[in-house]
Amino acid sequence: MIRRRMRDRRQYLHSKSGEASQRALFQKKRRIRAALEEGKPIPTELRNEVRELRRQIDLEDQETRVPKSMADNEYATASVREPKILFTTSRNPSAPLTQFVKELKVVFPMSQRMNRGGQVISEIVESCRSHNITDLILVHEHRGQPDGLIVSHLPNGPTAYFGLLNVVTRHDIRGRKAMGKMSEAYPHLVLDNFSTQVGERTATILKHLFLMPKPDSKRIITFANRDEYISFRHHVYEKSGGPGSMELKEVGPRFELRLYQIKLGAVEQNEAQSEFVLRPYINTAKKQKTVGA
pLDDT at 231 over 50: yes
**What span, in angstroms and rounded, lies between the C-alpha atoms of 83 and 79?**
10
Confidence bin at 6 (pLDDT 50/70/90): low
Query: What pLDDT is recorded for position 138?
Result: 97
| Beta pairing partners, 138 | 88, 150
Query: What pLDDT is recorded for position 57?
Result: 78
**What span, in angstroms and rounded, lies between the C-alpha atoms of 201 and 194?**
8
* Strand 254-263, strand 229-239: pairing: antiparallel
Query: What pLDDT is recorded for position 174?
Result: 65
Sequence-distant contacts of 285-293: CB under 8 A, at least 24 apart: none
Buried b (16+ CB within 10 A) or exposed e, 239-275: eeeeeeeeeebbbbbbbbbbbbebbbbbbbbeebeeb
Could you tell me which of 130, 119, 156 has the C-alpha nearest to residue 138?
Answer: 119
Q: Which residues, 6 or more positions from 251, have their beta carbon under 8 angstroms from its beta carbon?
A: 170, 173, 176, 179, 182, 234, 235, 236
Q: pLDDT for 86-122, tens place per residue?
A: 999 988 999 999 999 999 998 998 899 999 888 999 9
CB 258 within 8 A of CB 163: yes
CB 189 within 8 A of CB 223: yes
Confidence bin at 247 (pLDDT 50/70/90): confident
Domains of the chain: 1-68 (no CATH), 81-277 (3.40.50.10480)
CB 129 within 8 A of CB 2: no
Q: pLDDT for 197-222, tens place per residue?
A: 899 999 999 999 998 898 889 999 99
Confidence bin at 178 (pLDDT 50/70/90): very low
Give the residue, 1 or 20, on which the prediction is more confident.
20
Please say whether the dihedral angle defined by the alpha carbons of residues 59, 64, 66 and 70, taken in this order, is positive or negative.
Answer: negative
Query: What pLDDT is recorded for position 204?
Result: 92
Helix (H) or strand (E) holding 141: strand 135-142
Q: Which residues, 6 or more positions from 145, have their beta carbon under 8 angstroms from its beta carbon?
A: 96, 167
pLDDT at 190 over 80: yes
pLDDT at 180 over 70: no
Whole-model pTM: value is 0.75
**What span, in angstroms and rounded, lies between the C-alpha atoms of 78 and 96?**
33
Please say whether the dihedral angle defined by the alpha carbons of residues 128, 130, 131 and 133, taken in this order, is positive or negative.
Answer: positive
**What span, in angstroms and rounded, lies between the C-alpha atoms of 272 and 265?**
5
Q: pLDDT for 125-175, tens place per residue?
A: 999 999 999 999 999 999 889 999 999 999 888 999 999 999 999 888 865
